[in-house]
Structure 1
């Protein structure tokens, strides 16, 4: 089974490349700029077709949430038009597309965890562009899995876990928002889930449960709760630690509004594919330990 991932440098792409190396019978290839540039949709068809994939994983995206408020045209070109073209190309090749989306398609006003049938109402340009991308993907290729995820972190790229460890190395106290809640999700777990789902799609040509799914870590916390777990785990393994001070969203204004509630129910995905993410504390702990040990090795080299 050959998977082609768009977005070579992203957290999910890097995690899929690493996971694919450990799976017999699985080949994962990733392609990104300049060969594949979602801001230039005319580049997409030829590049993907040339890779001859069995399944396309559409992971590339414009993810600068605040900057998107100033660059709406670019955000929509990449996240909507580009994503749609990726799905269209997969359809032309007769293969499924697995597309990554976000909790930001919701406004965060619901009291409990969001399910796939809940009304969407993005608060900003980024969320609106990702929602438009979901619609473009669904229209272009009926054999689609749209996977909404949230609060993604990993050993790769830029993310909240790395930011907390970096800040703790130079500060005694870090202020973190405590009134936004969600499911921290390891990109390593996302990669495992995608490979699991891809194997189902590849092995069952009559698979009929295409559509939109939520895929997030098990359990919930606030950003400040997430930060405390990161730093307490870091301390356990000899890494940096700092106190976490709770602040409100009002205390930390940003150009783009964030949902107060990003909790996603992944029950539908578990039912369809028999895969459930580990508890977020376990997955986060493993990533923190890995990052602390990698830093120690670099410093001792």
Structure 2
């Protein structure tokens, strides 16, 4: 752990070993990340981890991000996608409220259905109805907005990384499909 001023981390975070978490730590080492290696669906464990860290800000980077797997769980509020994305985020928000810490939820543009005529704004509430991954992330946002905690929500779209050992990101998936010929680029141009 890199220590911030006075030897204390500025932020503690769940999910620091995931794609977005690893990249955030690379880009912002000065934040003195304190990784919270905790099962976010376990309220007691989350309470203990949040109260034990000296960090004033807790960032939730942990999430169920397998969009195809989420679709297979569609409507299942007992499934791992809902438990991690909604209940897990709620557990952290409640623990932050009790410990007097600020909560940052990392979310996604999947919270939007995508059928709106005009552009979505960052101040818009999510309207996801059909994509279960988006619904769970929307429900998490709604829960956090109504929690008694200081909060911020950051929505990311199509994250990718310099090195991808564990999970194929969008850029590498497209490159592989082009390499194997499973998709081909449209080089005909407009019209």
TM-score (norm 2): 0.78
Q: Which residue of structure 2 lines up, in the alignment, with residue 30 of structure 1?
A: 35
**1:124 correspondence with 2:131:** yes
Q: Any idea what SS the aligned residue of 1:99 has?
A: strand
For these two proteins, the number of residue pairs brought into alignment is: 171
Query: 2:169 matched to which residue of 1?
Result: 159
| 8 A Cα contact 1:13 1:30, kept in partner | no
1:105-120 equivalences under 5 Å are 105-115=111-121, 116-117=123-124, 120=127
Counterparts of residues 54-65 of structure 1 (less than 5 Å): 54-65=56-67
Counterparts of residues 1-301 of structure 1 (less than 5 Å)? 2-21=10-29, 23=30, 26-32=31-37, 36-71=38-73, 72=76, 73-115=79-121, 116-117=123-124, 120-155=127-162, 156=164, 157-168=167-178, 170-171=179-180, 173-175=181-183, 244-245=185-186
Match of 1:56, SS?
strand
Q: CA RMSD in A?
A: 2.2
Q: Tell me the alpha carbon deviations over residues 200-225 of structure 1, each in whole angstroms, 9 at most, x when there is no partner.
A: xxxxxxxxxxxxxxxxxxxxxxxxxx
Consecutive unaligned residues of structure 1, counting only runs of 5 or more, are 176-242, 247-301
Q: 1:118 to 1:164 in 2, by over 3 A?
A: same
Given the superposition, is the C-alpha separation of residues 158 and 38 from structure 1 closer, same or farther in structure 2, using an over 3 Å criterion?
A: farther
Assess, with a 3 A threshold, how the Cα gap between structure 1 residues 142 and 44 changes in structure 2: closer, same or farther. closer
Counterparts of 2:108 and 2:185 in 1: how far apart (Å)? 27
Deviation at 1:159? 0.7
Q: Distance in 2 between matches of 1:60 and 1:148?
A: 13
Distance 1:40 1:3, change over 3 A: same
Once residues 102 and 135 of structure 2 are traced to their aligned partners in structure 1, the CA distance between those partners, rounded to angstroms, is 24
Deviations 1:263-287 (A, max 9, x none): xxxxxxxxxxxxxxxxxxxxxxxxx
